[in-house]
Amino acid sequence: MANVISDETMEYVGILAKLELSDEEKEAAKKDMESMLDYIDKLNELDTSRVEPMSHVFPVKNVFREDVVVNGDGGEETLANAPERRDRAFVVPKTVEG
């Protein structure tokens, strides 16, 4: 294990994450973080010189479209079975005293 995380660093990470960890939990988290860092070091050994940089694994195309209403809002159909309505809204009993 090449990466060693100090107790002070674990304390600081706990503060940042707003976690209250027992000593056993701190030790377990410390070992997990050290393992993660070791794995990242292992990945850094890969030769990526012939790999083009990318922002996504899958091809991304522009998904923006014109914002045009094609089927209406269905307001009349929604209000068709309302027991009581006023203008284009449901009328419901008052639930909060004011």
| Each residue's pLDDT expressed in tens, for the chain with a length of 98 residues | 578 999 999 999 999 999 998 999 999 999 999 999 999 999 889 999 998 888 888 888 887 888 888 887 788 888 988 999 998 899 998 888 86
Cα radius of gyration (the chain): 29
Q: Which helix (H) or strand (E) holds 48?
A: none
Neighbour count for residue 37 (Cβ, 10 Å): 15
Full-model pTM: 0.49
> How many angstroms separate the CA atoms of 45 and 6, rounded?
25
- Say which residues have a Cβ less than 8 Å from residue 89's Cβ, sequence separation at least 6: 79
